[in-house]
């Protein structure tokens, strides 16, 4: 209720003030009494309002409104001192010396309050700019008032009689100049209080000049307008606390906008106008006007000199910032080498015969995993410095493309020079790197491509293909892009283009290889394999097209189809054998897409199969830490997770306890080494025993002979698959409930 009445009260106050101001014009005979009443009400009421605001607020705001309250109190005392006599006599009473001094003190407090709203600039140049702006405004305003008012008045009434009449407008002009300058350095949204105070001083100044004009021209009718101005000025200053003051971070004085920045120069324009007109009319300017102009010109020249110096400094800083941004945009922040963007620019300018070497570190991930990312960053810095040192004498560009991938662009030297350079780079990368008391060793693989006429942009892809081939051949070596790789790349591009239509056209099919219980010879389930019935190339195994599918971003879509098709086939087999199981191979790319658990849950619900009948196989090279949340979701719905091709990579026997999986599938290399290496046989037995102790299912892969199968059975392996038990077959030929004799 109180908040709804507040606007009504405020509107009522403003209407009352408007009525009082109007009454001064309508009833000029009662103007002294009405003016005395209004001035006492406004100044006393404003003083109380400012005191209340100062008491309620803290810090900077309390200091500002305490100063304005003191100024209004001086003004209020002066108005009460003369206002009571004016009410009694009905005429405006002349102010005595104490009253005039109090009015002067009000202006002093007004200046102090204005100066307390913003803070002076922190730099000496900024404070000097502020002072010069004030000097420009003050000298111009004084020159205008001198020419228009003070000079004519002194001629008429004399200098001695006009001492106080001159002092008031001069002091008000000085305060007005301060307000104009301070407003020029205050943000527009924070300038409300400053506008109210400066507006009040401006109205006081105009009212004083009107009063002087009334006395000079002997026109008493102008006096009522001066009295209205005093009331309006007091009202503006009284309501100033209703506006918010600038926050701490916005208090420092600085030109806030173009509109506010030109405020100190508006009085200068007015001064030029009032001085040029008499000059063109043949009149001479007197000494005070010339002094004001001299001060104004000196202040403007000094201000412009400061502005020029500041602009030069800003231009220099801007050039430095642009150079820094350009450097950062073209260089890697960790190693300081040129980045991919810089390399692309150099490739566009590369001449025919230029050679690009793509370098990828082998074993960098292991350093990150074992020693931490800080050590990995330190390793990259050391390798980058070695590479740059090697290529610098050749005038080559060494760039970091991201992660552990680098590139070297050799403009001259040809392919033979690139081969020699690649050998040196491989040696430098393979040298041990000390990292905080530890020694890290990595190797590198390098792909090399030569730019032909008019095709520098193809270098990146060709060098990348050569790099892939080098890593595929065993790492730690380099490979040059040739026609064989070109044909392979073209075939890869064709496969990528054809893969998009293969899934929609029903060209994919699943094949299954039996999983046999070694104790009984009974087929307990199958492992899924993906086939592509290509209309041009015939039946393709997964290894022939999955790399292209990965590059085309189709792996998640293909694996989603595998899940649904595999569970659908499982439903038909389980109608004959309720214990039958299926093992699905899913890519890390699909596991990372976030929909695996939902896709499995939907497929099991649609085909009405229990989750425990499905195993998900993931490659041993997968990042188990990264996939841990996804695998936890999969296991939470009952689907079991098997680590495929166990025994290579990071999956040593000691890590079995830490793996969040339900089973392992042994790498075929175990069986190949058993016949020739007793240590391998012991290791195989240890792995199977360890898995059994941890409750992990263990399946042996790649079983090709009865002797291998019998050996596995004797050392405790429960299940196996391989060509011994059958080749991959379509779903309709899966041997459900068959018992296979392999002895």
Q: What is the pLDDT of residues 359-376, one digit of tens each?
A: 999 888 878 777 888 888
- What the block records as the tokens of 521 is 């010879």
Q: Which of 198-202, 287-291, 721-725 has the highest mean pLDDT?
A: 721-725
Mean pLDDT is lowest, of 320-329, 425-434, 608-617, for 320-329
- What the block records as the tokens of 266 is 């508006």
What is the distance of C-alpha 600 from the center of its chain?
38
* Mean pLDDT in residue range 230-257: 78
pLDDT grade for 529, boundaries at 50, 70 and 90? very high
Closest Cα partner for 644 from 674, 664, 671, 614? 664
DSSP letter assigned to residue 65:
H
Go through 528-563 and write b for each residue having 16 or more CB atoms within 10 A of its CB, e for each that does not. bbbbbebeeeeebebeebbbbbeebebbbbbbbebb
pLDDT grade for 536, boundaries at 50, 70 and 90? confident
Above pLDDT 70, what percent of the chain?
Answer: 85
pLDDT grade for 18, boundaries at 50, 70 and 90? low
Beta strands in 451-537 (DSSP E): 478-480, 508-517, 523-534
Instruction: Compute the C-alpha angle 427/429/434, nearest 5°.
Output: 115
- Note whether 339 and 330 are within 8 A (CB): yes
Residue located via tokens 């010879």: 521
Distance, in Å, from the CA atom of 615 to the CA atom of 594, rounded to the nearest integer, reads 18
Mention every residue, 6+ apart, whose C-beta is less than 8 A from residue 269: none
- Note whether 399 and 339 are within 8 A (CB): yes
What three-state secondary structure class fits 141? helix
Q: What is the pLDDT of residue 571?
A: 94
Distance, in Å, from the CA atom of 500 to the CA atom of 489, rounded to the nearest integer, reads 18
Distance, in Å, from the CA atom of 218 to the CA atom of 202, rounded to the nearest integer, reads 24
Antiparallel, parallel or unpaired: β 443-450 and 478-480: parallel
Indicate the pTM of the whole model: 0.49
- Note whether 717 and 700 are within 8 A (CB): yes
Torsion of CA 6, 10, 15, 21, to 10 degrees: 160
Residue located via tokens 């939902």: 598
């Amino acid at each position: 209720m109180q908040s709804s009445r507040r606007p009504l009260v405020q509107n009522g106050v403003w209407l009352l003030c408007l009525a009082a101001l109007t009454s001064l014009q309508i009833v000029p005979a009662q103007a002294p009494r009405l003016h005395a009443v209004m001035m006492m009400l406004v100044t006393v009421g404003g003083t109380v309002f400012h005191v209340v605001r100062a008491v309620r607020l803290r810090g900077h705001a309390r200091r500002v409104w305490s100063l304005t309250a003191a100024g209004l109190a001086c003004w209020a005392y002066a108005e009460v001192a003369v206002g009571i006599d004016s009410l009694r006599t009905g005429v405006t009473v002349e102010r005595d010396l104490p009253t005039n001094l109090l009015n002067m003190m009000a202006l002093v407090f007004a200046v102090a309050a204005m100066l307390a709203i913003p803070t002076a600039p922190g730099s000496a140049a900024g404070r000097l700019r502020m002072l010069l702006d004030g000097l420009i405004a003050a000298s111009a305003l004084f020159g205008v008032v001198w020419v228009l008012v003070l000079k004519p008045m002194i001629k008429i009434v004399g200098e001695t009689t006009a001492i106080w009449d001159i002092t008031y407008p001069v002091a008000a002009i000085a305060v007005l100049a301060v307000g104009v300058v301070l407003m020029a350095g205050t943000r527009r949204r924070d300038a409300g209080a400053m506008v109210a105070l400066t507006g009040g001083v401006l109205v006081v100044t105009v009212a004083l000049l009107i009063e002087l004009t009334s006395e000079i021209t002997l026109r008493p009718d102008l006096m009522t307008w001066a009295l209205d101005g005093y009331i309006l000025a007091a009202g503006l200053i009284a309501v100033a606390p209703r506006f918010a003051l600038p926050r701490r971070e916005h208090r420092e004085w600085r030109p806030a906008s173009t509109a506010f920045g030109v405020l100190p120069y508006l009085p200068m324009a007015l001064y030029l106008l009032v001085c040029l007109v008499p000059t063109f009319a043949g009149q001479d300017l007197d000494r005070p006007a010339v002094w004001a102009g001299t001060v104004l010109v000196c202040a403007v020249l000094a201000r412009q000199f400061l502005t020029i110096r500041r602009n030069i400094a800003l231009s220099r800083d801007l050039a430095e910032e642009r150079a820094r941004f350009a450097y950062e945009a073209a260089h890697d922040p960790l190693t300081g080498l040129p980045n991919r963007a810089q390399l692309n620019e150099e490739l566009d300018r590369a001449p025919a015969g230029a050679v690009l070497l793509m370098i990828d570190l082998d074993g960098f991930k292991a350093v990150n995993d074992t020693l931490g990312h800080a050590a990995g960053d330190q390793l990259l810095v050391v390798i980058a410095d070695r590479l740059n040192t090697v290529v610098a004498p050749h005038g080559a560009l060494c760039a970091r493309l991201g992660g552990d991938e680098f590139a070297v662009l050799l403009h001259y030297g040809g392919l033979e020079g690139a081969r020699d350079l690649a050998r040196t780079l491989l040696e430098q990368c393979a040298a041990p790197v000390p990292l905080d008391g530890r020694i890290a060793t990595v190797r590198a693989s390098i792909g090399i491509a030569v730019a032909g006429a008019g095709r520098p942009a193809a270098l990146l892809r060709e060098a990348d293909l050569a790099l892939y081939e080098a890593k595929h051949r065993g790492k730690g070596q380099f490979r040059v892009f040739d026609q064989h790789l070109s044909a392979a790349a073209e075939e890869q591009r064709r496969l990528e283009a054809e893969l998009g239509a293969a899934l929609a056209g029903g060209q994919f099919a699943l094949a299954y290889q039996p999983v046999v219980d070694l104790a009984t010879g009974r087929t307990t389930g199958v492992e899924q394999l993906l086939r592509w019935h290509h209309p041009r190339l015939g039946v393709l195994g997964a290894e022939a097209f999955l790399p292209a599918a990965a590059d085309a971003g189709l792996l998640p879509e293909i694996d989603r189809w595998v899940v649904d098709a595999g569970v659908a086939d499982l439903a038909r087999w389980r109608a004959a054998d309720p214990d039958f199981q299926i093992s699905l191979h899913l890519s890390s790319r699909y596991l990372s897409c976030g929909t695996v658990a939902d896709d499995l849950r939907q497929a099991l619900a649609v085909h009405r199969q229990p989750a425990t009948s499905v195993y998900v196989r993931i490659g041993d090279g997968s990042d188990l830490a990264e996939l841990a949340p996804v695998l936890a979701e999969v296991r939470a719905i009952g689907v079991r997770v098997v680590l495929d091709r166990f025994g290579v990579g990071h999956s040593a026997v000691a890590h079995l306890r830490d793996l969040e999986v339900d089973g392992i599938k042994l790498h075929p290399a175990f069986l190949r080494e058993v016949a020739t290496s007793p240590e391998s046989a012991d290791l195989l037995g240890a792995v199977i025993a360890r898995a059994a102790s941890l409750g992990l299912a263990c399946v042996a892969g790649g079983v090709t002979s009865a002797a291998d199968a019998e050996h596995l059975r004797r050392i405790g392996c429960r299940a196996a698959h391989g060509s011994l038990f059958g080749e991959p077959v379509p779903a309709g030929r899966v041997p459900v409930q068959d018992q296979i004799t392999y002895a």
